[in-house]
Amino acid sequence: MKNNLNPAPIKDVLAKLTIEDLDLNGKRVFIRVDFNVPLDENLNITDDRRIRSALPTINYAIDEGAKVILASHLGRPKGRPDPRYSLAPVAKRLKRLLNKDVIFAPDCIGPQVENIVNKMQNGDVVLLENLRFHEGEEKNDEAFAKALASLADYYVNDAFGTAHRAHASIVGIPKYLPAAAGFLLKKEIEYLKGVVNNPIRPFVAILGGAKVSGKIGVLENLEGNVDKVLVGGGMAFTFIKAMGYEVGDSLVEEDMLETAQRIRKKLKERGVKFYLPVDCVIAQSLEPGAETKIVPTLEIPKGWKALDIGPATARLFSEALHNAKTILWNGPMGVFEIDAFSRGTYAVARAVADAYALTIVGGGDTDLAVHRAGVSDSISFISTGGGATLQLLEGRELPGIAALTDKKE
C-alpha cells in the first residue's frame, strides 16, 4: 500500500511549452515517444511499461481531436531496415492498450507515409516504423528532420529516455515546428530537477552501480543539498580502497581513487553523513553455484570479490532512511540479476518503499530492481531514463529539453 509523502510537484521548472499549451483540434501532432521495449526471440514484448507511460499524452491528444503521429526508435538497427527491430509488435500492443485502431506505417518518411497522414481523421493514431531504420536519425541529418517535420503541425517530445541524444527526432524537428513537452517528459523534469534544486529535508541519496566515474557528476551536483549519501554496488569499493583498505579482487577504478577520496572529504566538510558497506557477499566468480560468503568489508580475502552488500549493511542503510523526507536512488547494490547477489538490492528497495518520504528511483537497472522486488507501486516516482536521468541529476541541460519552444512569460 502506498504510504509515501507526495508533496505537490515542484513549481514549473520547465519554462517550455507543454502539450496543454497547444490547440490540438484538427492538427497533425508528431509525438516522439520512447517505445524501445524489450522483445523475446519470437518478437513478443516482454515489458510494456514504456508504452503505458506514454498513454496519458497520447490519450490527451486523441481527446483534443488531434491527428496523432507517433514515432520511436527500437534497438540498434544501424541505419537500415531490420525486421528484428520493427515496431509492428508495438503497434499491436498499443492498439490493445488504447482500445482503438492504430495505423502502422511501413516507414517514417516518404510518399507512402505522407499518403497515410493525409488521409487521417481527427482522433486517428498512426505509428511510424522505426526511426533508426534511417541513418539520418542518429546523425541528426537536416533533410531527414525536415521530412519528419513536414508530416505535422506541432511537435511533442514525450521520450525522456532519449532526451539526452542530439538525434533528428529529438533536436532536429523542433527547428521547424512549435515544440512542446508531453506529460511524461514534464513529470520527469519536475521530479528530478525539483529533488536536486529544492528537496524536502532530510534528503538522502542512495547511489550504486559499478563505477564511481558514472556518478561523480551526480555527487558533485547534490553535495550542497543532500543530508546523507549511501553508497553501495561496485562503486563502493573504489571509495573503500581510496581510504587505504584492502578489497580483494573487488571492482576498483584505480584512476578514480583520488577523486573518490576528494568527494568523500568534501561531503564530510559539508556535514553530509556518508555511508559505505560494513559487510558484503563475496564469491570467486559469477558462475552459477559458485561458493559465497558474508564477510566484513575490511576482511575480503585475495581472490574473492564483493558482489552485493551484506545483511548488516542492508540494516544500516534501512536505519539511515528512517527519518528521510526525500529519497533519491540510482544504481543497484550488487549484481542483483543473479539470485545469490540480489538480496541487498531488494532489501534497499523494500526500505525505500516503506519510507514515509517522497521517493524517486532513477536509472534502468534500479527501475528493474524495484519491479523485481515487487515494490514499484510504493515508489512516488520511477524515472524512465538511464543516461538522461543521470545528466539531469548532474545539473546538465538535455538537448531534447533545450530544443523545445520557450514558454512566453
Q: Residues with catalytic annotation?
A: 50, 211, 364, 387
Strands of the sheet with 28-32, listed across from one edge: 103-104, 125-127, 67-71, 28-32, 154-157, 179-181
What does R_g of the chain's alpha carbons equal in angstroms? Answer: 23
The owner of cell 497522414 is 117
Spell out where 87-244 has E strands. 103-104, 125-127, 154-157, 179-181, 203-207, 228-231
Query: Closest Cα partner for 145 from 175, 119, 125, 116?
Result: 175
Q: What are phi and psi of 13, to 5 degrees?
A: -100, 5
Q: In angstroms, rounded to a whole number, what is the distance separating the alpha carbons of residues 381 and 37? A: 20
Q: What angle do CA 255, 258, 259 make, to 5 degrees?
A: 85
Count the alpha carbons within 13 Å of 46 in the hemisphere toward its beta carbon: 7
Cα separation, 121 vs 103, in Å, equals 12
The string of DSSP letters for 44-100 reads -BS--HHHHHTHHHHHHHHHTT-EEEEE---S--TTS--GGG-SHHHHHHHHHHHTS
* Strand blocks (E) in 269-354: 273-275, 279-283, 292-296, 305-309, 326-330
Q: At what angle do helices 311-320 and 343-354 cross, to 10 degrees?
A: 20
C-alpha dist (Å) from residue 43 to 36, 94, 239? 13, 15, 42
**For residues 124 and 117, what is the distance between their CA atoms, to the nearest angstrom?**
9
> Do 136 and 167 meet the contact criterion of CB atoms below 8 Å apart?
no
CA atoms within 13 A on the CB side of 119: 9
Query: Distance (Å, rounded) from C-alpha 354 to C-alpha 337?
Result: 23
CA 340 to chain CA centroid, Å, is 26
